[in-house]
Amino acid sequence: MANSRELELIDIPARYHHIRPVPRMPNFAAWIEDVDLTQPFTPQVEAELRQALDDFEVIFFRPQTITPQQHVALARVFGPVSQGSFFDRMPGVPELEMIVSDRARPPSIDSWHTDISWKPQPPLGTAIQITEIPPAGGNTCWISTSKAYEWLSPAMQTYLETLSAEHTWETSGFRDALGRAGEEALVNAIRAFKPVIHPVVRLHPGSGRKCIFVNADFTRKILGVDREEAAGVLHFLLQWLKKPEFMIHHAWEAGAIAVWDNRSTQHYALADYWPHRRVNQRVTFNQPDAHTEGDTVNQTVLKGGSLTG
């Protein structure tokens, strides 16, 4: 057996009195039942939603019809809205990113990643609603990076805690997309968002779990060891993270909502539905004490233009 540690399940009845989490995997990925996202939240509900995100790392809501403002309000339960990424914004709601895939805009984020790990302070998490779904496909997978760490041998855990890694958006599809948007956009991004360094293992402040923090899209290299060792360690981790025991595979219904913790998960948006249409509305949110003033990433780089044309 790969993991001989005894499983201790979260005691849901003792911990939750105002919402009802229904786990989909052991201590990972839960439906949140009996919460109406169209109504203001009580402080008790907000506190338990934050607790659920710490406990289960990605939480799901059944389809609901919510306004863009209610979507933003849900994200703000967990932290202040972040400046987001390079994606286009909903007109009149700059906090809400629009990721639209169709015949003219094929899906392009089919890789394992942690949102915006290329910033010094990556966002705490993300809240998305898939408002339009294709006839089939278009699912999303998440992996628990805390489970991935927990299942490693003690010696490997100790070794990884000594390492750091470089993260950059330049290793991802964003470089080609910005290049197509024009030389000015690419140069703006290179100047504004330089590579950053993060520990390979990070302590989650809410759950106390240790989490692996490297991903296929944005982690360029492991630092501080021989380059062959670095490449081998990164390759091992990226493969290890994909064990099915760490993964939830989620099929969408139109109007359904997911909120995930960037500190303890990675995700992958399946690209198996082209040329059909899929619309993802997304709000990222920061740590409560993070600095969030200033232009969005989109405004900084594209100056009001569009990544997709």
Is 282 assigned a catalytic role? yes
Task: Indicate which residue of 54, 55, 71, 113 is catalytic.
Answer: 113
Backbone angles phi and psi of 46, in degrees to 5: -60, -45
Q: Is 105 a catalytic residue?
A: no
Peptide bond connecting 275 to the previous residue in cis, omega within 30 degrees of 0: yes
Nearest to 237 by CA among 171, 173, 170, 143: 143
**227 included as an active-site residue:** no
Give CA separation, 245 vs 10, 55, 266, in Å: 17, 17, 14
Q: Which of 209, 263, 267, 278 is catalytic?
A: 267
CA distances from 124 to 46, 184, 276 (A): 16, 30, 31
**Catalytic entry in 71, 167, 202, 282:** 282
Q: Are the C-beta atoms of 282 and 74 separated by less than 8 Å?
A: no
Apex CA 54: angle with CA 50 and CA 56, to 5°?
Answer: 110
Kindly name the residue from 54, 115, 217, 261 that is annotated as catalytic.
115
Active site residue 272: no
What are 3-8's contacts with CB under 8 Å, separation 24+?
3/150, 3/151, 3/245, 5/150
Active site residues: 113, 115, 267, 282
